[in-house]
């Protein structure tokens, strides 16, 4: 009795304790409801006061905004209060819920499944089982949704503490700021002041509610975490239970269907045997029914396989969904710790290939299309069997060529009727099977699409974060203790013995692959022995200019490849054989994969070595310098002996995916490889070694020195990453660096082959010109009897024209960029992590007038700098490249090409500058005012410069003159030699270059003598004495014009008698010449000829004469008239 009383008392106290928070909340809610009600009433009262008050419209709008915001804050505060109450109620109910979940987890899984299966009738038909199966699927779908929701809630709980501290501190600071009473501003209306006060109070209450909710969440985080974890366990337990139910149902459905269909097939076979030897039509119908029964059985078995595949796909989808959720949680909670890094790298290794998933999805879609087509054909068969009589008649119809009347075999018809009815039943059974298969495949398609989406999202997340997270610890005393164990794991004899035994067993069982591989390697080795001789022979052909051809280069390349193939081919074949004898994940299989990975580096190293041989491809064909060839031949063997085995060890460790192998073997391989490669690059990039260009006298030391420092430092940085625990990161970067080396070698070979092709083309042109010069020299020698030396007929790559060299540089740069992007594509997504590092913030006004804070991240700064640098490079090189590669092949004159390239250069500069500064936070909305002010200032200060610039653009597009035209402007006459955006250069007759500002051409008068036609008119004015024969004068002038061959006959010359002058009869001879340079020459010749003709025909050239009439004479002259008059005549003669 006492125990019963104590038990009831304990329950009463427990319920009282659980209900205390709820009771307290009821009292507090009542008080808060009164507070909120009064606040809402105060806001409504203030709104009425604002409407009635007399204030400016801007003040009224500001007051209304304050009140609307205050009301919204009050409503949000009410929502926060309800959420706090819900949280407190859930916390109070948590013990009961956890007890219930623990009881659910304590149930016996197998016993419950057994009891459930007993409740299903043993004689349940297939349709009933299908309905139960569909119900279970619905339950599983609901459980998946609940698991996802619980996982999201748990992730939120786990990630909240990392954000709660800063948020709580911010809330408290803001609440303290709002607790200070506000003071009315000068001349501020009372209604506006009241609106501001209510706004602050409402905001304070909202923030207070947020603070209380965050504190409650922080206090109950641990309890809620345990509850959600327990809830997730219970949901997954139920999910496992229902999945087992589905498996049980599918087995029963398959077994029952198989039993029923096998029985049905037995009946159909028996019926077919009964009809054997009888009516042919009936036997064929029975055979069709039997085959249809067999198809039913096949479809039933395939349905079971489709449903099993659906279950696997759904499990994989849920597994990747859970992994994605766990990854987010670990990144939010664990940050960049070593444990998180190991877990993420483990998930990355287990991540299923997207290519394989997409291929699986494509197969499912193909199967779906086939099933849908089969169902359409099944419907057609069912429609044809709606009328059994017509169907039977069609089967036993007499073939064409018999009597016109249809003869029907009554016996055959009686036999066909039951067979066709049976076929109708079979089709009715086949239709739901096809529909279920279609349904299963549609669900598989949907689940697989979701899985692919989750895999892509997880892959992007891993690529974004993995390189920034350490995968192992730093090298310390613990690592040194593991070092002997890790090295012994590499050379453990038992593994190699097992591999040898498996290889011998495979050779005895299947000798052909081993023998075939050995024979192939032996053949390649025999061909390799002939390679040096053949390469030297082909090199000798290149020294004979007339016999040199591109086929020699291709043959040399082929023999070079044959010389380097034995080693890589042997590794590939050995890798294939080792993968065939070992299971995936075992040592033999992993060693086979490592052998195949090592084939490409070995191929590149040997290829580069053979190209650098004397008389090899690089010497005789690519014309590499002796210093470069010697440097490669000296450095490559030692580097290959050290780095290639280390590459194999590192690859093997990463393939095996064992933590000890990666931590010790891969880390050591990375460290030693980086040190050796850094030393080799430092030596190769020394003065006068690898970086020597034929035909260049001055060494490009700046770039060489920069690369000589940066490349070794990069490799040593990778080594430091491996030392500090970023083993996977260092491995990926080192692999990308080695792949980049392969890309550089392949690009060098490809560009060398292309340059060789261009060289031979230029050489053919040079030889053609050489032959012409030799023939001309021989002709001159024959005529003069002198011996003239033959010109040099050799031409080197450095003598190839500038356009070709630029094109080769552009091709080389393009191939390098594309190749390096392809190599580093796996690492580039990690750079987006820099988007999380904010360097500074900028403010921007949004469309609604609100101020928006935007962060300028590190990746934005890097992109901005990259865009600005590429703008400079593009502005300097891209227009020229376009002019060479595109515009030079189009019939556009030089001025138009210059106009296009100039505008393109300005477009690149302006666009690149705006985009680059935009990345740095300088938006156009912020720059436009400064740009406008700067433009106005420059417009006044540099008015003439801008006027000339704009005028230059106009001239380049309107083209009133071209380079080579003869123009006259502002008193200057000359030939245009250069047109630029600021000024134009004119070469005058005195061989002086006159720089004329472009504004002069727009604002002044311009004469273009050769714009559309070079024919110009020359006017020669001639005055003859009065009394001359005008017809004769005209005839002589026309004679002089016709005698000069430079005077055009079309338009024909003309002669005009223009006027009676003061002292002469004025004639004009108008002629036309073809070239501008003929104007002065023809004028000089014609003037001389006209004087000669006029003298021969006694025609005088008129000259000015003056008659004096003296009216008054001085008295002195009157006394002595004769001498005075004589003296005056003498003066007059001298004046004339």
- Residue-wise pLDDT for 415-439, tens only, equals 777 888 888 888 888 888 888 889 8
Q: Are residues 815 and 905 in the same domain?
A: no
* pLDDT value for 354: 83
Q: What is the pLDDT of residues 545-598, one digit of tens each?
A: 667 778 888 888 999 999 999 999 999 999 999 888 877 778 888 888 899 999
Residue 872 within any structural domain of the chain: yes
Q: How far is CA 734 from CA 252, 344, 642, 654, 714, in A?
A: 56, 20, 15, 13, 10
Q: Are residues 217 and 104 in the same domain?
A: yes
At a CB cut-off of 8 Å and minimum separation 6, what does 653 contact?
661, 662, 665, 666, 669
Q: Are residues 767 and 736 in the same domain?
A: yes
Domain endpoint, select from 761, 795, 820: 820
Full residue range of the structural domain in which residue 511 is found = 477-820
Residue 277 within any structural domain of the chain: no
**Cα-based torsion angle of the residue sequence 727, 732, 738, 742 in order, rounded to the nearest 10 degrees:** 170
Residue 1000 within any structural domain of the chain: yes
Q: Are residues 442 and 501 in the same domain?
A: no
Measuring CA to CA, which residue among 507, 525, 502, 654 is closest to residue 583? Answer: 502
* pLDDT value for 1128: 43
* pLDDT value for 896: 61
Domain endpoint, select from 405, 434, 468: 468
Q: How many CB atoms lie within 10 A of CB 118?
A: 9
- CA atoms of 363 and 353, how far apart (whole Å): 16
Q: Are residues 1088 and 994 in the same domain?
A: no
Residue 1 within any structural domain of the chain: no
Q: Are residues 79 and 154 in the same domain?
A: yes
Residue 176 within any structural domain of the chain: yes
Query: In the structure encoding, which two tokens stand for residue 94, read together?
Result: 């948590």
Domain endpoint, select from 766, 797, 820: 820
Query: Exposed (0-12), middle (13-18) or buried (19+): which is 341, by Cβ within 10 Å?
Result: buried
Handedness of CA 126, 130, 131, 132 (dihedral sign): positive
- CA atoms of 1056 and 1030, how far apart (whole Å): 10
- CA atoms of 964 and 977, how far apart (whole Å): 6
- CA atoms of 826 and 814, how far apart (whole Å): 20
**Prediction pTM value:** 0.63
H helical segments located in 53-125 = 57-105, 109-119
* pLDDT value for 795: 44
Q: Are residues 496 and 446 in the same domain?
A: no
**What stretches in the chain show pLDDT beneath 50?**
1-33, 398-408, 787-788, 790-800, 848, 887-888, 1123-1136
Q: What is the pLDDT of residues 319-352, one digit of tens each?
A: 888 888 877 777 776 566 677 777 777 777 777 8
Q: Are residues 1119 and 1087 in the same domain?
A: no
Q: What is the DSSP letter of 185?
A: P
Q: Are residues 726 and 605 in the same domain?
A: yes
Q: Are residues 50 and 163 in the same domain?
A: yes
Query: In the structure encoding, which two tokens stand for residue 543, read together?
Result: 């020294």
Q: What is the CATH number of the domain that holds 998?
A: 1.10.287.1260
Q: What is the DSSP letter of 122?
A: T
Residue 266 within any structural domain of the chain: no
- CA atoms of 472 and 144, how far apart (whole Å): 35
Q: Are residues 857 and 901 in the same domain?
A: yes
At a CB cut-off of 8 Å and minimum separation 6, what does 25 contact?
85, 88, 89
Q: What is the CATH number of the domain that holds 1075?
A: 3.30.70.100
1109, HSE (Cβ side, Cα atoms, 13 Å): 1
Measuring CA to CA, which residue among 311, 253, 303 is closest to residue 437? Answer: 303
Residue 1122 within any structural domain of the chain: yes
**Angle, CA of 358, 363 and 367, to the nearest 5°:** 145
Residue 1023 within any structural domain of the chain: yes
* pLDDT value for 19: 46
Q: Are residues 195 and 229 in the same domain?
A: yes
Q: What is the DSSP letter of 1100?
A: P
* pLDDT value for 363: 92
Q: What is the DSSP letter of 857?
A: E
How many domains are contained in the chain? 6
H helical segments located in 466-492 = 477-490
Tokens 């390096």 sit at which residue? 820
- CA atoms of 583 and 574, how far apart (whole Å): 15
Distance of CA 831 to the CA centre of its chain: 14
């Amino acid at each position: 009795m006492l125990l019963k009383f104590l038990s009831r008392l304990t329950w009463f106290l427990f319920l009282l304790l659980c209900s205390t928070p709820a009771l307290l909340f009821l009292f507090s809610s009542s008080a808060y409801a009164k507070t909120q009600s009064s606040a809402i009433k105060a806001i409504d009262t203030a709104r009425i006061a604002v409407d009635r008050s007399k204030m400016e419209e801007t003040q009224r709008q500001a007051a209304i905004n304050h009140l609307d915001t205050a009301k919204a804050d009050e409503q949000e505060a009410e929502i926060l209060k309800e959420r706090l109450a819900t949280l407190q109620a859930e916390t109070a109910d948590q013990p009961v819920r956890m007890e219930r979940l623990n009881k659910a987890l304590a149930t016996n899984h197998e016993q419950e499944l057994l009891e459930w299966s007993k409740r299903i009738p043993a004689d349940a038909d297939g349709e009933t089982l299908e309905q139960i199966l569909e119900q279970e699927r619905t339950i599983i779908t609901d459980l998946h949704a609940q698991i996802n929701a619980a996982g999201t809630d748990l992730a939120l709980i786990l990630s909240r503490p990392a954000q709660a501290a800063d948020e709580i501190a911010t809330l408290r600071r803001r609440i303290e700021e709002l607790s200070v009473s506000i003071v009315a501003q000068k001349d501020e209306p009372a209604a506006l002041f009241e609106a501001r006060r209510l706004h602050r109070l409402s905001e304070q209450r909202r923030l207070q509610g947020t603070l209380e909710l965050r504190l409650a969440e922080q206090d109950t985080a641990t309890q809620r975490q345990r509850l959600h974890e327990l809830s997730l366990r219970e949901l997954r337990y139920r999910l496992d239970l229902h999945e087992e139910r589905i498996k049980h149902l599918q087995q029963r459905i398959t077994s029952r269907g198989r039993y029923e269909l096998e029985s049905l097939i037995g009946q159909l076979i028996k019926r077919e045997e009964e009809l054997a030897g009888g009516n042919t039509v009936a036997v064929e119908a029975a055979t069709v029914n039997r085959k249809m029964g067999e198809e039913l059985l096949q479809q039933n078995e395939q349905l079971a396989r489709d449903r099993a595949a659906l279950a696997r796909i759904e499990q994989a989808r849920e597994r990747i969904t859970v992994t994605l959720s766990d990854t987010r949680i670990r990144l939010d909670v664990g940050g960049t710790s070593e444990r998180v890094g190991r877990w993420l790298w483990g998930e990355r290794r287990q991540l299923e290939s997207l290519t394989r998933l997409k291929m699986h999805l494509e197969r499912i879609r193909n199967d779906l299309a086939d099933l849908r087509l089969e169902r359409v054909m099944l419907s057609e068969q069912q429609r044809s069997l709606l009328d059994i009589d017509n169907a039977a008649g069609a089967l036993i119809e007499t073939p064409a060529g018999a009597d016109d009347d249809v003869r029907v075999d009554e016996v055959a018809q009686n036999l066909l009727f039951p067979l066709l009815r049976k076929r109708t039943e079979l089709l009715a059974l086949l239709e739901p099977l096809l529909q279920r298969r279609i349904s299963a495949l549609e669900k598989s398609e949907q689940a697989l699409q979701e899985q692919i989406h989750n895999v892509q999202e997880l892959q992007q997340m891993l690529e974004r974060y993995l390189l920034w997270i350490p995968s192992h610890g730093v090298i310390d005393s613990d690592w040194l203790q593991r070092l002997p164990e890790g090295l012994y794991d590499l050379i453990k004899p038992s593994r190699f013995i097992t591999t040898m035994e498996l290889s011998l067993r495979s050779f005895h069982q299947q000798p052909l692959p081993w023998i075939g591989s050995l024979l192939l390697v032996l053949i390649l080795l025999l061909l390799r022995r002939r390679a040096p001789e053949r390469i030297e022979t082909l090199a000798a052909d290149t020294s004979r200019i007339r016999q040199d051809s591109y086929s020699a280069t291709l043959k040399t390349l082929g023999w070079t490849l044959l010389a380097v193939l034995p080693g890589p081919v042997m590794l590939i074949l050995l890798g294939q054989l080792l993968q065939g004898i070992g299971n995936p994940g075992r040592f033999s299989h992993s060693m086979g994969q490592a052998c195949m990975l090592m084939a490409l580096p070995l191929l590149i190293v040997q290829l580069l070595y053979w190209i650098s041989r004397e008389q090899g491809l690089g010497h005789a064909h690519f014309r590499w310098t002796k210093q470069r060839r010697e440097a490669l031949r000296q450095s490559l063997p030692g580097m290959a002996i050290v780095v290639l085995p280390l590459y194999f060890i590192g690859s093997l460790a990463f393939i095996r995916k064992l933590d000890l192998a990666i931590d010790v073997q891969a880390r050591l391989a990375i460290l030693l490889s980086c040190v050796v490669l850094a030393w080799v690059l430092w030596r190769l990039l020394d003065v006068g070694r690898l970086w020597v260009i034929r035909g260049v006298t001055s060494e490009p030391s700046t770039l060489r020195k920069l690369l000589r420092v940066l490349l070794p430092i990069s490799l040593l940085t990778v080594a430091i990453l491996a030392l500090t625990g970023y083993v996977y990161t260092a491995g990926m970067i080192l692999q990308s660096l080695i792949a980049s080396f392969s890309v550089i070698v392949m690009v060098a070979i490809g560009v060398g082959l292309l340059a060789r092709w261009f060289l031979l083309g230029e050489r053919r042109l040079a030889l053609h010109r050489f032959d012409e010069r030799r023939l001309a020299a021989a002709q001159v020698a024959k005529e003069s009897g002198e011996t003239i030396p033959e010109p040099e007929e050799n031409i080197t790559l450095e003598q190839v024209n500038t356009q070709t060299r630029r094109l080769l540089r552009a091709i080389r740069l393009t191939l390098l960029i594309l190749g390096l992007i392809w190599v580093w594509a796996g690492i580039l997504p990690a750079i987006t992590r820099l988007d999380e590092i904010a360097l500074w913030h900028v403010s921007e006004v949004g469309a609604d007038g609100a101020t928006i804070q935007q962060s300028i991240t590190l990746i934005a700064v890097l992109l901005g700098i990259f865009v600005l640098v590429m703008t400079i490079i593009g502005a300097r090189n891209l227009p020229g490249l376009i002019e060479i590669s595109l515009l030079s092949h189009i019939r556009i004159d030089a001025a138009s090409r210059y106009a296009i390239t100039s505008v393109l250069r300005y477009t690149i500069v302006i666009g690149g500058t705006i985009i680059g500064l935009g990345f740095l936070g300088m938006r156009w909305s912020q720059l436009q005012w400064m740009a406008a002010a700067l433009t106005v200032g420059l417009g006044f200060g540099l008015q003439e410069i801008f006027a000339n610039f704009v005028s230059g653009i106009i001239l380049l597009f309107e083209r009133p003159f071209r380079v080579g035209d003869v123009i006259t402007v502002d008193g200057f006459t000359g030939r245009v030699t250069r047109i630029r955006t600021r000024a134009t250069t004119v070469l005058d007759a005195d061989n002086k270059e006159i720089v004329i500002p472009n504004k002069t051409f727009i604002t002044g008068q311009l004469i273009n003598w050769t714009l559309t036609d070079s024919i110009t008119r020359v006017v020669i004015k001639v005055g003859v004495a009065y009394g001359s024969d005008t017809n004769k004068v005209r005839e002589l002038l026309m004679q002089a014009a016709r005698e000069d061959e430079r005077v055009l006959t079309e338009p024909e010359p003309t002669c005009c008698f223009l006027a009676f002058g003061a002292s002469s009869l004025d004639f004009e001879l108008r002629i036309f010449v073809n070239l501008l340079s003929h104007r002065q020459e023809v004028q000089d010749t014609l003037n001389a000829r006209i004087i000669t003709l006029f003298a021969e025909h006694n025609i005088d050239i008129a000259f000015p004469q003056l008659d004096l009439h003296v009216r008054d004479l001085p008295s002195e002259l009157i006394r002595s008239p004769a001498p005075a008059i004589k003296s005056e005549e003498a003066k007059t003669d001298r004046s004339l």
